[in-house]
């Protein structure tokens, strides 16, 4: 019964946000400020799913300026967990097929996100060039999932290099966003689905990496994130165990 109630409420809320959000965005279409606004609205679904999401953003983050944010991509619940960390004037880079998702796809495009054709290598490279060009013209940041696909419990997948090419070419820092593991964590028939921690790491200075060291930069960032995710998972396990003892 709880599963049915949750599915109905999440669906109604999401469709309502997408429809009203799309209408609102028509007043200033493709404005990058919209992404954080509606991303945070989807983040409000966490309590309905029985999740407590703890988001750790350093106070100085609002002064970081143009950057590329990278996050681990686990499953569809990223939309509820990681979205809480999206900063103002940050747009995401997603696959072109997202636009065909009813209601959501239209909001995704109208909020100013960038669509990439991953099956066409030349177009994908063109998108990276577009990212670099926008850094030069606007106060804007980009959010990317360097794994390129959802890990679905397989751990942190190998990183693709597009985000790191763009960061080096534009001379902007990489800022990792780490989300504790959510694979098999959410059971829609269970009232309490526990804790998820989202943490923003310090910016990674790319100036020490040349254009021929893109892979080294990608591996460096992946190692940082892998260590932090393991640390967050351990903290979540400890805190949830302690909560059960006191319950």
Predicted structure pTM score:
0.93
Domain residue spans of the chain: 2-246
pLDDT tens-digit profile of 32-87?
A: 999 999 999 999 999 999 999 999 999 999 889 999 999 999 999 999 999 999 99
Q: Rounded to the nearest 5 degrees, what angle is found at the Cα of 161, between the Cα atoms of 150 and 206?
A: 120
Res 169: pLDDT = 92
Q: In what order do the strands lie in the sheet with 174-179?
A: 52-56, 195-200, 174-179, 68-71, 141-144, 90-95, 114-116
**Fold of the CATH domain 2-246:** Glycerol-3-phosphate (1)-acyltransferase (3.40.1130)
pLDDT band at 119 (very low <50, low <70, confident <90, very high): low
């Amino acid at each position: 019964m709880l599963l049915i109630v949750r599915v109905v409420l999440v669906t109604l809320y999401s469709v309502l946000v997408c429809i009203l959000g799309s209408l609102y965005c028509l007043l200033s279409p493709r404005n990058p400020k919209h992404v954080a606004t509606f991303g945070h609205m989807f983040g409000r679904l966490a309590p309905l799913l029985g999740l407590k999401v703890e988001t750790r953003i350093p106070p100085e983050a609002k002064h970081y300026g143009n950057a590329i944010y990278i996050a681990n991509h686990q499953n569809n619940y990223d939309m509820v967990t990681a979205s809480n960390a999206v900063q103002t004037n940050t747009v995401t880079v997603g696959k072109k097929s997202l636009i065909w998702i009813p209601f959501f796809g239209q909001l995704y495009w109208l909020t100013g996100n960038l669509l990439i054709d991953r099956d066409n290598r030349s177009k994908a490279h063109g998108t990276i060039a577009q990212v670099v060009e926008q850094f030069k013209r606007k106060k804007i940041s980009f959010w990317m999932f360097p794994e390129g696909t959802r890990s679905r419990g397989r751990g942190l997948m190998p990183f693709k290099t597009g985000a790191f090419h763009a960061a080096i070419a534009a001379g902007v820092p990489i800022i990792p966003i780490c989300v504790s593991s959510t694979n098999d964590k959410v059971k829609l028939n269970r009232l309490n689905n526990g804790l998820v921690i989202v943490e923003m790491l310090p910016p990674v200075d790319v100036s020490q990496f040349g254009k021929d060291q893109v892979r080294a930069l990608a591996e460096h960032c992946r190692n940082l994130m892998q260590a932090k995710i393991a640390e967050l998972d351990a903290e979540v396990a400890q805190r949830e165990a302690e909560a059960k003892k006191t319950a």
